[in-house]
A and B are shown apart, each in its own frame.
Chain A
Amino acid sequence: GAGVSQSPSNKVTEKGKDVELRCDPISGHTALYWYRQRLGQGLEFLIYFQGNSAPDKSGLPSDRFSAERTGESVSTLTIQRTQQEDSAVYLCASSRLGTSGGARETQYFGPGTRLLVL
């Protein structure tokens, strides 16, 4: 497709369950970002992938959160033993080259996955 896609669009789970969120970036984009957005709040950076470099995991809130990306393709964000506080919209974005130029690279966002932990 032409844009960033994410699946599922909505996910309802029970506390303690694991969830996997998927992001398909724009073809050819080497950089991929995950953000979390709680209701009525701003974007919270989680993790960043740039090509084959080691990911920047500095934004992950706990060791229950992890993410993988194979090459420059799909990424999966996994949340283990979900808690109610994990309820949020999880946004994925991709950019052509990444952050070597600071904010120069425009990020293209997907529609997000709305996660509700009961």
Chain B
Amino acid sequence: LAKTTQPISMDSYEGQEVNITCSHNNIATNDYITWYQQFPSQGPRFIIQGYKTKVTNEVASLFIPADRKSSTLSLPRVSLSDTAVYYCLVGEGGGSQGNLIFGKGTKLSVKP
């Protein structure tokens, strides 16, 4: 049973800001929210992580509302190289070790 919900795909153009929202209604109190990026023929790689409010790093920003039942990954001024699949990850409620659930991912296509 999937624990997160993301749009299957999104299209954007170079230079635009892209926002990808993930729903995670069953998030546990101690769980963090992590986003990964995956390019074709590569394993996923960490982008950003947060617990609440807002987190920003050199790559992206992560917005988390007070109820933490969703999160939004924001990519400023995307380029063609940002074309990838983006996964939202939260720990499964109940603390079951190892059973971390990746969302199905959002395929972002950036066009010139």
Contact = CB atoms under 8 A, between A and B. Distances in A.
A and B physically associate: yes
Contacts of A55: 98
B103 A42 contact: yes
Contact of B33 (A98, A103, A107, A109): A103
A9 B72 CA distance: 34
B97 A102 contact: no
Nearest to B98: A48
The secondary-structure label for the interface of chain B is loop
Interface in B26-49: 28, 30-34, 36, 41-46, 49
Interface residues of A, number: 32
A52 interface: no
A56 interface: yes
A32 B46 CA distance: 16
Nearest to A55: B98
B104 interface: yes
A35 B43 CA distance: 10
A45 B98 contact: yes
- In this complex, the interface size class of chain B, counting residues with CB under 8 Å from chain A, is 20 to 34
Contacts of A53: 97
A45 B101 contact: yes
A104 to B, nearest CB: 5
Contacts of B96: 56, 58
19 contacts: A33-B100, A42-B104, A43-B105, A45-B99, A47-B98, A50-B98, A53-B97, A55-B98, A58-B98, A59-B99, A98-B97, A98-B98, A99-B98, A99-B99, A103-B32, A104-B91, A106-B34, A106-B46, A109-B44
